[in-house]
Amino acid sequence: MSVYDAVQEAAAAIVRAIAPRLPKVGLVLGSGLGAFADGLEAPAAVAYKDIPGFASSSVVGHAGQLVAGKSGGREVLCMQGRVHAYEGHPLAQVVLPVRAMIAAGCKVLIITNAAGGIRHDYNPGDLVLIADHINLSGDNPLIGENDERLGPRFPDMSTAYDPELRMIAHQQAYAEGLVLKEGVYAWLKGPSYETPAEIRMLRTMGADLCGMSTAPEVIVANHMGVRVLGISCVTNKAAGLGGKLSHDEVKETAERVRPQFVGLLSRLCATLAP
């Protein structure tokens, strides 16, 4: 089956499962950040295993379902958990859910993640808007034959993280009593965390945050012409800048910022829905 057909098939299954809802805003909720979907009104959930082509996430802290429902009066569609390249999935599989949400009608995507803070002034619990990314994976989800029905062969990435959406996010954060920092996200495949030497290299390169997700999803969203807002929750200081790194710390910090994070996402859904 072609990638295009796989996307259409998955999108059709999603539309059927959440009917009559027609969400225009899609969210990807990263490690420990899935709680937002638990607060949606009139929710309808569909497990990844029930959507054709979807892989199930094996990572603790990732629920593995799509949840549609209302936030701030707007219909939204959330990925509660994602799959990662480090789980052994090919990138086409990693990005299928994002492509399917877009094919199902989402016009704006809010993509979130847990990330390590490289900048010295980033502390665990900070929420950071992603201004741009550096793809250090050596891979790209668009490698292979291009299907023009999905997007162009050589998509422009000059404004991959939409500047207008970032401005709105700053305004909404201010209204929520939060200060958002902005930074450049480096995508490495993991699953081992970075070494202190790698973090020094990343800082020299101009990266402020690092993580194991997001960039492939942002690449395919841009390919399909959809505007993206990226938000990182700094769950830990990057390697060599604090203590030892652990997935438990990542989950604990994400849990701690939950009220602020949920508050910000609710405002963003209310504002960004077309």
Which positions touch ligand HPA (CB under 6 A)?
A: 114-116, 193-194, 210-212, 235-236, 238, 245, 250
**Smallest distance from ligand HPA to CB 73, Å:** 33
Report the nearest approach of ligand HPA to the CB of residue 86 (Å): 10
Q: How far is the CB of 113 from ligand HPA (least distance, A)?
A: 7
The smaller minimum CB distance to ligand HPA, of residues 96 and 199, is found at 199
Q: Which is nearer to ligand HPA, 212 or 219 (CB)?
A: 212
Q: How far is the CB of 175 from ligand HPA (least distance, A)?
A: 28
Task: Return the residue nearest ligand HPA (CB atom).
Answer: 116
Of 59 and 270, nearer to ligand HPA (C-beta) is 59
SS (H, E, C) the chain: CCHHHHHHHHHHHHHHHHCCCCCCEEEEECCCCCHHHHCCEEEEEEEHHHCCCCCCCCCCCCCCEEEEEEECCEEEEEEECCCCHHHCCCHHHHHHHHHHHHHCCCCEEEEEEEEEECCCCCCCCCEEEEEEEEECCCCCCCCCCCCCCCCCCCCCCCCCCCHHHHHHHHHHHHHCCCCCEEEEEEECCCCCCCCHHHHHHHHHHCCCEEECCCHHHHHHHHHCCCEEEEEEEEEEECCCCCCCCCHHHHHHHHHHCHHHHHHHHHHHHHHHCC
* 212 has catalytic annotation: yes
Annotation marks residue 86 as catalytic: yes
113 in active site = no
The active-site residue, picked from 68, 114, 221, 239, is: 114
Q: Is 247 assigned a catalytic role? A: yes
Instruction: Catalogue the active-site residues.
Output: 31, 62, 84, 86-87, 114, 212-213, 236, 247
